[in-house]
Amino acid sequence: MLKIFPPVVLLLASCAASVTCSATDLHFVEKRSGVSHQLDIANLTMDVRGVPSFNYSYRQQGPGCTFTMAGKAVAGYDDDGGKVALEVYNPQGADGKAVPPILAFHDGGVNFTVARKEMLAPKSITFDTMLDTAMRAKTCNKKADRIEIGFKKIVP
């Protein structure tokens, strides 16, 4: 037992050092103008510095069209001499009052926002990306210059 126990402890310690927490996968669906928008979030993790990230897969499907994109989004952060500060925004609602703070995630030109306190278990998430000409030709709305959608419906 003593020969097995130390390697197990080292394995658990190294796992804790690389990922401090992980959440379950999420599946969001929204429908707009006959088009189904799906966002799958997987591998919600936080590294040892406290920076959360996740893998995503977005799918848009309507009559005669299907558009997909996928990647890895990482929370925005500043690294100041070994201290990490997450990009947390304090937006205002339509009434001008403060709403709960949000955390921004990025993957190149794709942006996500999540409520700060729900960063590893979001109940809702926004998805926003600009479309170049080639991407626009593949989407269901060929005239849109961006995809901007708030997902609020989690599907089991």
92 vs 27, which has greater pLDDT?
27
Q: What is the mean pLDDT of the chain?
A: 82
Supply the pLDDT for residue 22: 52
For residue 5, give both structure tokens. 């126990």
CA pair distance 12, 29, nearest whole angstrom = 36
pLDDT digits (tens, 9 = 90+) for 53-68: 999 999 999 998 999 9
Kindly tell me the sign of the dihedral angle through the C-alpha atoms of 127, 133, 134, 140: positive
Distance CA 113, CA 143 (A): 25
Phi/psi at 100 (5° precision): -55, 145
**pLDDT at 82 (0 to 100):** 76
**pLDDT band for position 23 (50/70/90)?**
low
Per the DSSP assignment, residues forming a β-bridge with 128 are 111, 148
* Mean pLDDT, rounded, for 21-29: 78
Pick from 146, 151, 118: which is nearest to 52 by CA? 118
Question: Got the DSSP string for 79-130?
Answer: EETTEEEE-EE--B-TTS-B---EEEEEETTEEEEEEGGGTTS-S-EEEEEE
Element (H, E) at 2: none
Two tokens, residue 2: 């003593």
Helices (H), 32-155: 133-138
More confident residue, 116 or 71: 71
Task: Categorize the per-residue pLDDT at 8 as very low, low, confident or very high, splitting at 50, 70 and 90.
Answer: very low
Provide, rounded to the nearest whole percent, the portion of the chain with pLDDT above 90.
48
Domain ranges of the chain: 21-151
Please report which confidence band the pLDDT of residue 41 belongs to, taking 50, 70 and 90 as the band edges.
very high
* pLDDT for residue 40 is more than 90: yes
